[in-house]
Structures are given as C-alpha cells and as structure tokens.
Amino acid sequence: MRKIARVFAFGLALCAASGAQSPKPKVVDDGTVIEEVTLISPEQPAPLEHATVVIREGRIAEIGTTLVAGPHAKRIDGRGRFLIPGLIDSHVHVGDMTLLDDDAAAAHPELVQAYRAQLPRSYLAFGFTTLVDLNLGKDTLSWYNVGPIHPNLYHCGPAVHTARRASPRTRPRRMPPTLFMKLRRQRTGRRTSTLASTRPCAQLIASLRLEASA
C-alpha cells in the first residue's frame, strides 16, 4: 500500500513539474499582432517558428511564442510567411528616372507621377525600409515625403559635378580614397565626371547599423 502511495505521489510531482515548465499564454489586447510567423533575426541563432510579434505605435514591442491576440488587437495571419528586419539599400538615386529623359518627362507628366507613386511601394515590397541617396535631386524630398507610406530616406546631398573632357576609354589612374568618380555621357558627346564624397555616407551607414542593432 505504501509503495502504491509513493508511486502516486511521484506521479503527481511529475505532473506539477511539467505544468510549471509550460508558461501560461499572455493575452495581448492592443496594437497589431502578427501570429504564427517564422521570424528570422540576427539576434536568434535559428529561425523562430510559430512566433508572435506585437507592434505598438509603429515599433516592435514584444516577440514570443506564448503571446495570444485579444479581441481588441489587430490580427495578421503569418502562417507560411517569414518576417525579417528591414533591409538597407545604401546606394540609390531615388529621383533618377532611367527610362525617362528630360524631354520624355516633360511630354508625359503622368508617367512621372506614376513613377513617383510606385517607387516607394516597390522598395517596401522587396523588404527595403531604409534608403541612402548618394545624389539627391533638388525636388526629391518634396514629392517623396508626401507619400502616405515609404522607406526612411537618408541622403548625402547633391553630388558635385565638374566638367572634364575624356575619351570613352579614359579612366582616372589615381583617385583619393574618399572620392569616387563616375563618368556620364551627355547629349553633346562630352563626358562629365561626377564627384561625391563617400565619407559622410560611410558615417551615415555606420550610424544606421548602430541604430538597427540598438
């Protein structure tokens, strides 16, 4: 009889221990809750499956596997999807419409408008939430920031253009380490060299990395 009692007591102890190891679900009743998503983060040694991510006031507030969305939270079904940190494109020319020259842009303002409306959405669709423009146009910020949703845009200001004559095969042999040179053909047949300091951009990118890791 004592042996049976000991076995029964040992079984109850195991049940209590197993129950203590299983944390209780935490109800999140505010913000946006992404459920059942696979989270990939440099802070995790491996992908975190069946994760729940809580977003409040535009920032990630909580991450876990025991969070449960309440009736007042906005729920997003993340099953079969992956969640990663926002990507940074550190070399863009937001205002450079490659397929439209000045004449085409003047003749078709509707294409310019469509381009400017779609560009921020395209970056976001591919996971880019931060951009660094190395040759900011004079009117880029005026139309870019008007969009309802867009990646954060940092810039190094406009590039410095200096005229020089050069044959198509001519390349500068030596160049200061803080400068880069880009040759661009103009309609006149001449080429101009575009100089821009990369040091401010390097400092900016380093600060973005520190901000992202904080």
pLDDT band at 134 (very low <50, low <70, confident <90, very high): very high
Q: What is the pTM of this model?
A: 0.61
Stronger pLDDT, 200 or 52, i.e. the higher one: 52
Pick the range with the lowest mean pLDDT from 35-44, 113-122, 154-163, 189-198: 189-198
Inter-residue contact 124 to 82 (CB < 8 Å): no
- % of residues, the chain, pLDDT over 90: 50
Domain-wise residue ranges, the chain: 20-83, 87-213
Which one of 2.30.130.10, 2.60.40.1930, 3.50.50.60, 2.30.40.10 gives the CATH number of domain 20-83?
2.30.40.10
pLDDT tens sequence across 55-108 = 999 899 999 999 999 999 999 999 999 999 999 999 999 988 877 888 888 899
Over 79-145, what HEC string results? CCCEECCCEEEEEECCCCCCCCCHHHHHHCHHHHHHHHHHHHHHHHHCCEEEEEECCCCCCHHHHHC
Q: So what's the pLDDT on residue 46?
A: 95
Q: So what's the pLDDT on residue 79?
A: 96
Identity of the amino acid at 91: H
* Average pLDDT for 200-204: 55
Strand 160-163 to strand 82-83: parallel, antiparallel, or no bridges (unpaired)? Answer: unpaired
Q: So what's the pLDDT on residue 205?
A: 54
